[in-house]
Amino acid sequence: MKLFSAPCAKFALPILCLIAAWPTLDSARAAESPTKPSNDAAAPERRQVECVAKVIVHEAGNQIRRGQIAVAQVIRTRMQKMGIATDACRVVHQPGQFFNIDRFVPKRNSTQWREAMAIAAQTLRGEGEDIVPGAMFFRTAARPLKGRIRIARIDNHVFYR
């Protein structure tokens, strides 16, 4: 691959030429090396993962892992049903649906946070078993949600369509 060409002569430092030519270099590398496709496109943005992780920790941090996954899946299902498939934060910020995640500051060096981040990322990628298929709501088992179809009870939460 040819890194420097005549247009690079105008740059005093070769690194500036590399920065200016970055899209060209990427496409040249892709053309030269037939490798397997990158999964980067499927990786959710960190901000999106953090929005879901905050809900997992706050709403289901004391629940079993399966319950934490189910809470994340409710957010993913809402994203799909609402036609905002790339914006978990928009779902989480809906008025009256979840707590104010912007004020919640979980301990980011805790095992609980790391696990919530892993669950959130996996769920946003669409991986894993669909534990509560089609669930759009969840509530504590002590306060049933009237008028909705009950899908499952996991630990202290009941999930509904």
DSSP string, 95-156: TTTS--TTT----TTSHHHHHHHHHHHHHHTT-S--SSTT--EEEETTS--TTS-EEEEETT
Read off the DSSP letter of residue 158: E
* 3-class DSSP state of 54: helix
| pLDDT at residue 144, as a whole number | 87
Stated pTM of the model: 0.71
What is the rounded average pLDDT for all residues in the chain? 79
47 near 38, Cβ under 8 Å? no
Q: How confident is the model at residue 93 (pLDDT cuts 50, 70, 90)?
A: very high
Buried b (16+ CB within 10 A) or exposed e, 114-133: ebbbebbbebbeeeeeebbe
5-53 pLDDT, tens digit each: 444 444 343 333 333 333 333 333 333 333 333 344 467 899 999 999 9
Q: Is 37 helix (H, G, I), strand (E, B) or coil?
A: coil
CB 152 within 8 A of CB 159: yes
Burial of 92 (0-12, 13-18, 19+ CB in 10 A): buried
Q: Is 160 helix (H, G, I), strand (E, B) or coil?
A: strand
